[in-house]
Amino acid sequence: MSLRDELDLQPNHVLQVIHAHASCRHYQPDPIPVEMVKAIVATGQRASTSSNLQSYSVIAITEAATRSRLSELCGNQEHVAQAPLFLCWCTDLARLGRVCQLRGYTQISDYVENFLVAAIDAAIAAQNAALAAQSMGLGICYIGSIRIHPRQVIELLGLPRLVFPLTGLTVGWPSQAPRTRPRLPQEAILHWERYNSDQDAALLQYDSEMAATGIYQDRQAPVPGKEGQVEAYSWLEHSARQASKAARTDLREILEEQGFLLK
């Protein structure tokens, strides 16, 4: 019996929650009980962490005025203000600085590795928390646009030196069912023994699958190399446009202001 057959015969709730993931951008106003928030964050804390340093923090925002301001800072996304809970996941080396003081050491936090350790810890914890929330019937949506105006976010949330807002997470009861999207074929993601650069067939297959969802509606895009000709807009065009734009070019400067020197 194959592993897939075994999993099909023995449904796993964790896998079901993961595969049912869809970003939620429409929420009911009902607040989330404090104990529920704590349970979500506690699940985040059970995530793997480098050397058990746990170099992250999370700011839970429920006040309507603060969520409204965050919405403005995150590109005026309405669901940031609408969701009853916003979790701001932060890289946090400030706490380790205090740990060093308590034991008579001086923290070294000047290098890229220090920031990467904290960023990976925060991201893994956030994903654990997201899955926990979804397992409770809540909807979630990651908010990377919290990095559009990080200085203002830092000021708004009172983040000290060596703490940086990595990503946000809206959480709440969905007011409408979010729609799942297909993911890239494993031929483009899973590589055996060595990296495989021959991915065109998988990319074109995925482009067709995404077009079939209707998510891009009736948009059109220019045909590469054929001036004046257009074709249906889909994932390849969308992703190429995103990847060919410079974005948030001041982040290194702001990270340095917060004490992450990235040497």
pLDDT digits (tens, 9 = 90+) for 166-217: 999 999 999 999 999 999 999 999 999 999 999 999 999 999 999 989 888 8
pLDDT of residue 131 exceeding 50: yes
User: Residue 227 — very low, low, confident or very high, per pLDDT cuts 50/70/90?
Assistant: confident
Superfamily of domain 3-178: NADH Oxidase (3.40.109.10)
pLDDT tens sequence across 71-98 = 999 999 999 999 999 999 999 999 999 9
> Given this model, what pLDDT does residue 7 score?
54
In the chain, the percentage of residues whose pLDDT exceeds 90 is: 84
> Given this model, what pLDDT does residue 188 score?
95
Provide the whole-model pTM. 0.91
User: Residue 218 — very low, low, confident or very high, per pLDDT cuts 50/70/90?
Assistant: confident
Q: What is the average pLDDT score of the chain?
A: 93
pLDDT of residue 149 exceeding 50: yes
In the chain, the percentage of residues whose pLDDT exceeds 70 is: 96
d(C-alpha 105, C-alpha 98), whole Å = 9
> What stretch(es) of the chain map to CATH 3.40.109.10?
3-178
